[in-house]
Chains A and B, each alone.
Chain A
């Protein structure tokens, strides 16, 4: 038995905020009298961090501390229309809607503050710590709470905002495929190292070196969650998962986690991630959605690495020991290439 090491590379881009349906997202933002804001959405948090990223976007745009913002989603009686969290549209579409709603609410808050400070609202800035002050004159200041209280009880203003983000429907030419599918793309490159056992056909991913370009890491830890978990899923797609493991007949289909295989905590490879940020002009604070693209480079990188290790091309996923052994047999044994 010999373990053969190989390296494989792949690079991808990913369309962010698929828009062929012309479907917009909406958001509503309002303040309590004490200056605490609620963001009402119908977006879904299925683990990707929708509630958290929109909360940070709202806090940034409103100019208030993160603790003063709470995101409530999803209740169709209170959250405005949003088709859902899919197609990397969550951060992009909803993030932009939240910016617009927050801008509108912020404007009312600044107008209320301006009336209290007897200045022009255009001269006011927020410090993100809960204070509003005159630009260049920090001593002329009012807290966001006091401004909100004044709006509610003295001035009769509603500190609230509505936001919608729509990229109009793109048509598609039946003859040429001309279209505007999206407005921005995320990017990734990945080099994986594998070890292939030429006796058992087993392939182990032993190292992953990646670079992901995400526009802006709106929350670096949320981005890391997606990239790390997504790359794990890519490894799983490459070498573990299928609903039909070995046979063409569906009678042999997996019905539980004993037969539908995924890498466990003992199977993971070190993943060294580099994050690049080239802001997208229409992304919220330049952000692109990192959640979908992260698995994609791993699949081809793994098959390319297997070829590099033993000279067997596997063009049908997943990479199984059976396929590796059949390839080795057809080739008359391992033909290590070590080209990378």
Chain B
């Protein structure tokens, strides 16, 4: 798939949460083809401590408005700088990168999309694409508390949403793998994006039930193109670049103890 280095224009900026910014970017030309689960590398200007680009997953692609959405958790100096962007500012992207989630395998398949924290971001786009293709996605989203749940209305507009919060302020109390949904319903496959402990526990559940499962990793990256070999993950095929061979891997390719 063709990759680009491009200045996109900030069309809208939203703050869905005190620790997140949602940047909606646009371009004078139609945005290129992008797959759900792929990511971009953004260049952070005006932040001397931020030398390398920042990998950010593609949250949503709105073709009608020609917008690419990036839902960014503000953790360090670089991401805080991104939260200062204003409508009309330019943001330089290298994109689209990585392999992305699996496309629909068969019409009507039930796909459980499990997300936690900022890991919910790429699932919005993936759920939309699956739904449009004719699959039946179901979201299972985890957060610390109700206030930390992101883009709920958007998820609900696509497919059923089940929620767990650690403090029980919304949905069922506990972690995603404790949700009663998993004891009541079955799924053809599972895709996960979130903190590693969450992905490991979902992968264990999937393995125990014999459900195909893929996870999206976020190892520290430099180039994003498979050139520097910094972001490697140990797999059954040896060390491979998460930025190029991933970020999405079937769990049987990883060397996690499941």
Does A pair with B?
A: no
Residue numbers of A with Cβ under 8 A of B are: none
Residue numbers of B with Cβ under 8 A of A are: none
